[in-house]
Homo-oligomer: A and B are copies of this chain.
Amino acid sequence: MFVIVVYDVQVKRVAKVLKVCRKYLYWVQNSVLEGEITLADFEELKRDLKRIISPETDSVLFYTFRTTRYTERISIGLQKGGEDRFL
């Protein structure tokens, strides 16, 4: 499966959240990572993040895709990172 993660967490937890996400996904833009991931790894990622974040203040969004057909990533402005590829 393909997943896009967008997090919005307090500054003191950014480094930890980023580190966990980077175990499985690649960095695209500040607070955005994406990549192919197995269902087992995705479950582990969610579990790890739930341990780190504070549910009162932090939020993490996961967009998951079983198929990536007909999907495109368009970037305007500064190209900050990640593989420059179509999903």
Contact = CB atoms under 8 A, between A and B. Distances in A.
Interface of A: 4, 6, 8-9, 28-32, 46, 49-50, 53-67, 69-80, 87
Given A6-B6, A6-B32, A8-B29, A57 B74 contact: no
A9 B78 CA distance: 10
Nearest to A49: B76
The number of times this chain is found in the oligomer is 2
A49 B77 CA distance: 9
A79 B53 CA distance: 13
A4 B60 contact: no
A43 to B, nearest CB: 11
Contact of A56 (B30, B58, B72, B78): B78
